[in-house]
Amino acid sequence: MSPIYLDNAATTKPDPRVIETVMKCLKDDYGNPSSLHHFGERAYNIIEQSRRRVAELLNAEQEDIIFTSGGTESDNLAILGALKGQEEGHLITTSIEHPAVKKTFYYLETKGFDITYLPVGPDGIVDEEDFKKSVREDTILASVMYANNEVGTIQPVENLADIAEKNDIIFHTDAVQAVGQLEINLKKSNIDLLSLSGHKIYGPKGTGALYVSEDRDISQVLYGGRHEKGKRPGTENVPGVAGLGKACEIARKEMSSYVQEMIRLRDLFIEGLIGEIDLVRLNGHRKKRLPNNANISFPGVQGDILARRLDSEGIAVSTGSACSSKGFEPSEVILSMYDNRPRALSSVRFTFGKWNTEEEIYHSLDILPQIVKNLKRISPKGRF
């Protein structure tokens, strides 16, 4: 059997229609969008067509989209750009954010901001009441991810954005994992700032966008030309932007059948696994999770060793745990959900995508029980 890629939350294999769009642009549309001649005009038109496609996926206004180099830059630009000029105040975020948000807040803490890191329950979801209670007179901004990248849990961001609006707090959401899988309608939302990334939706790496609501302004954090309304200087990555636009157009047109298929494969996998292997536990809410995410703890097995064994069998998955100088560190997200180190250390993330087939799921389910059984036999007792 050919290799099986079950790590679609890490990145996705680009759609051939995206590749074709990028290649055509690289070959034929190489003008600088700022140039006044017709080469420039063609490139400019490609950028604006992509801006419209991104906006359509989010049901947003075209002029509220800024192109960036990806999710990380969008998160940084949103948070740092919204706070520019301020030197103190209170900010709210969660304990399960991606490093692109979390580390931006760590930096802001060193600059004198006071930060509340909201916990999540065992379901991996932030509590609205906790959010409400954390609001203070001096709260300036809140950032809560739309859906988590490790366990896929969906946060109540629309309700949190409403609370933020009532308290005149800027609300940012990292929607990198949610875009293309969840319906987002920014015209009906109080979300002020939203980040997305191209390579999670079958688009090119190094591409992304930030939505900035017309009611809120952000300052630039890089200095240079007047590109992207002065918010993000630098000659645009025209082929990348073209690919991102195409990926958004495909995502919008095919979302409902895509989501249905992801749920089908995910549930086939989860139910199959629970039926086959004793004691496996799904991490995070069973329903309020991304259509393509199954994060599973295998008691008695170290997650990274299982991931490596699966890789040697041709199946690519990932763990939220990481090697560090102190040894093997458990996933911070799962630790903050269950406060249970063995559970966090034994977790593996399986994320499905549009190139996966039912046969691949059955094949994975066929070989997993034996691998897990063998690993349990050699694991140090009681550690996982």
Alpha-carbon gap, residue 127 to 143, rounded angstroms: 14
Shortest Å, Cβ 130 to ligand PLP: 21
Return the axis-axis angle of helices 71-83 and 99-110, rounded to nearest 10°: 30
Residues 318/347, Cβ–Cβ less than 8 Å: no
Q: Which residues bind ligand PLP (CB under 6 A)?
A: 70-72, 75, 98, 100, 145, 149, 174, 176-177, 197, 199, 208
Whose CB is nearest to ligand PLP?
Answer: 71
* CA angle (102 as vertex; 57, 341 as ends), nearest 5: 110
Q: Which amino acid appears at position 209 of this protein?
A: A
Minimal distance in Å, beta carbon 210 to ligand PLP? 12
CA distance 82 to 290: 28
Question: What one-letter code names the amino acid at 255?
Answer: M
- Distance (Å, rounded) from C-alpha 75 to C-alpha 45? 26
Minimum CB–partner distance for residue 331 and ligand PLP (Å): 14
Cβ at position 276, least distance to ligand PLP in Å: 29
In whole angstroms, how close is the CB of 39 to ligand PLP at the nearest point?
29
- At residue 251's C-alpha, the angle toward residues 363 and 51, to 5°, is 145
Burial of 271 (0-12, 13-18, 19+ CB in 10 A): exposed
Q: How does 55-81 read in b/e, with b if 16+ C-beta sit within 10 Å? A: bbbbebeeebbbbbbbbbbbbbbbbbb
CA dist 356 and 317 (Å) reads 13
Which C-beta is closer to ligand PLP: that of 169 or that of 178? 178
Query: Between 195 and 379, whose beta carbon lies closer to ligand PLP?
Result: 195
Q: Given the complex with ligand PLP, which of 176 and 242 has the nearer CB atom?
A: 176
- How many angstroms separate the CA atoms of 274 and 181, rounded? 25
Q: Write down the least CB distance from residue 150 to ligand PLP, Å.
A: 9
Distance CA 59, CA 63 (A): 12
Catalytic residues: 323
Q: Which of 199, 232 has the CB closer to ligand PLP?
A: 199
Q: Measured from the CB atom, is 51 or 102 closer to ligand PLP?
A: 102
DSSP string across 229-244: GGTS-S---HHHHHHH
Identity of the residue, 12 or 356, whose beta carbon is nearer to ligand PLP in the bound complex: 12
